Amino acid sequence: MVHGVAPVITVDGPGGSGKGTITQMLARKLGWHLLDSGALYRLTALAAGRQGVSLADEEGLVKVAAGLDVAFEPTPEGEPVKVILAGRDVTAEIRTESAGDNASKVAVMQSVRDALLQRQRDFRQAPGLVADGRDMGTVVFPDAPVKIFLTASAEERAQRRYGQLKDAGVNVSIDALLEEIRVRDERDMNRSAAPLKPADDAQVIDSTGLSIEEVLGRCMAAAGQA
């Protein structure tokens, strides 16, 4: 651990690996702050749409990213953190498949990533931070004392997403979800700017076939808190 700097646990991995849930559970259990870095990419794409900035306009997107007026508000246990963009609750809006897809498109741009870098590092405050994303352990917090890379098979991730959407009353085909997951993985892993990959010193945890409690137990053990 770097002396005098708040500790960080990074949780990276592909979408649907359970990262978001695990990060929230870890942060709650430890009483630490939470960073949902994916939300920042989702918000950048959403705010761009609102401001009439095209997702192909890199310069415009950098300005949008740098000027994001966002607040994350804590919620009772079991509920997702509330995300407020320019005074409006966009918690549900940024979670749609298209918001995720748009986020993945703006996230390929190095200049957009640079514009969001310091904002992410500012979340590192005492007593500690649990950071969820794709490049938390490789780029944003390379000195984090604990790095977890959470993964699961594409089929299992599609199945989980299908369950979530069904519960929310959204009708989708599992094959379409699987295809979207594959396309997004491909884009996230093969981009030149901060591609999705485990840090050299990350502990890889495969959550395929495990319950969320089992995954949490493994993550706590990885964090030395079991």
Considering the complex, state which of residue 156 and residue 188 has its C-beta at the smaller distance from ligand DC: 188
Which parts of the chain are beta strand (E)? Answer: 8-12, 33-36, 70-73, 82-85, 88-89, 129-133, 146-151, 203-206
Q: Provide the minimum distance between the beta carbon of 59 and ligand DC in the complex, in angstroms, as a whole number.
A: 19
Distance CA 132, CA 194 (A): 14
Q: Residue 21 interacts with ligand DC (CB under 6 A)? A: no
Q: Provide the minimum distance between the beta carbon of 133 and ligand DC in the complex, in angstroms, as a whole number.
A: 3
Q: Residue 38 interacts with ligand DC (CB under 6 A)? A: yes
Question: In this chain, which residue has its C-beta nearest to ligand DC?
Answer: 38
Q: Provide the minimum distance between the beta carbon of 183 and ligand DC in the complex, in angstroms, as a whole number.
A: 10
- The answer to whether the CB of 7 falls within 8 A of the CB of 128 is yes
Q: Residue 107 interacts with ligand DC (CB under 6 A)? A: yes
Cβ contacts of 151 within 8 Å, gap of 6 or more: 13, 14, 17, 204, 205, 206, 207, 208
Q: Residue 134 interacts with ligand DC (CB under 6 A)? A: yes
Q: Residue 24 interacts with ligand DC (CB under 6 A)? A: no
The residue range among 1-9, 50-58, 103-111, 153-161 that interacts with ligand DC, by the rule CB under 6 A, is: 103-111
Task: List the interface residues with ligand DC, window 43-102 (CB under 6 A).
Answer: 100
Q: Residue 141 interacts with ligand DC (CB under 6 A)? A: no
- The answer to whether the CB of 159 falls within 8 A of the CB of 18 is no
Task: List the interface residues with ligand DC, window 142-201 (CB under 6 A).
Answer: 184, 188
Q: Residue 207 interacts with ligand DC (CB under 6 A)? A: no
| Alpha helices (runs of H) in 5-123, residue ranges in sequence order | 19-30, 37-50, 58-66, 97-106, 110-121
Q: Provide the minimum distance between the beta carbon of 3 and ligand DC in the complex, in angstroms, as a whole number.
A: 26
Q: Provide the minimum distance between the beta carbon of 205 and ligand DC in the complex, in angstroms, as a whole number.
A: 16
DSSP codes of every residue in 101-122: HHHHHHTT-HHHHHHHHHHHHT
Considering the complex, state which of residue 128 and residue 133 has its C-beta at the smaller distance from ligand DC: 133
Q: Parallel, antiparallel, or unpaired for β 88-89 and 82-85?
A: antiparallel
Phi and psi at 146, nearest 5°, equal: -130, 125
Q: Which residues bind ligand DC (CB under 6 A)?
A: 15, 37-38, 41-42, 100, 103-104, 107, 133-135, 184, 188
